[in-house]
Amino acid sequence: MALYSDKVMDHFQNPRNVGKLDDADGIGEVGNAKCGDIMRMYIKVDNGIITDCKFNTFGCGSAIATSSMATELIKGKPIEEALQLSNKAVVEALDGLPAHKIHCSVLAEEAVRAAVKDYYDKNGIEYNPDEFQLHDCEHCHD
């Protein structure tokens, strides 16, 4: 079996929603301390729905593929649903990732959550801080 699924290769080679939203309602930036990769996610929210989102990453191919898929999964969805998006769901939607690349998908999940948190903060919306705990990623690495 190939190391990467066709879907991973597709989203890596033709990433969706790459770029920046100048009028973003929420921006999340997260970094992976071990590999040094950085991810920035922009969301536009209207009436509680994510109407648009884009991402930029200084990251590996798996980070690009997982962020691309994450934007596809949250676009058009209620913001609460985006908050529930797990890296596992992103990996499943991509038909899997090699075990040593799972931590890259965590970066995508955390960028989405950071963007939602930024949106909540900017709009004075109350939330449970526990929902924004970052993963302990130590176990994700080789």
Give 25: exposed, middle or buried? Use CB within 10 Å, 0-12, 13-18, 19+. Answer: buried
Contact string (CB under 6 A) for ligand FES, positions 90-109, x = contact? --------------x--x--
63 makes contact with ligand FES (CB under 6 A): yes
In the bound state with ligand FES, the residue whose beta carbon lies nearer, of 45 and 90, is 90
User: Do 85 and 109 meet the contact criterion of CB atoms below 8 Å apart?
Assistant: yes
> Does the annotation count 140 as an active-site position?
no
Does residue 59 bind ligand FES (CB under 6 A)? yes
Shorter beta-carbon distance to ligand FES: residue 45 or 63: 63
Q: What are 71-76's contacts with CB under 8 Å, separation 24+?
A: 71/16, 71/17, 71/41, 72/16, 72/17, 74/43, 74/50, 74/112, 75/17, 75/50, 75/51, 76/49, 76/50, 76/51
**Distance of closest approach, residue 4 Cβ to ligand FES, in angstroms:** 12
37 binds ligand FES (CB under 6 A): yes
Total binding residues toward ligand FES, as defined by CB under 6 A: 9
Tell me, yes or no, if 53 is annotated catalytic. Answer: no
3-state secondary structure labels for all residues of 74-103: HCCCEHHHHHCCCHHHHHHHCCCCCHHHHH
Question: Binding of ligand FES at residue 41 (CB under 6 A)?
Answer: no
Taking CB under 6 A as the rule, does residue 60 contact ligand FES? yes
Q: Which residues bind ligand FES (CB under 6 A)?
A: 32, 35, 37, 59-60, 62-63, 104, 107
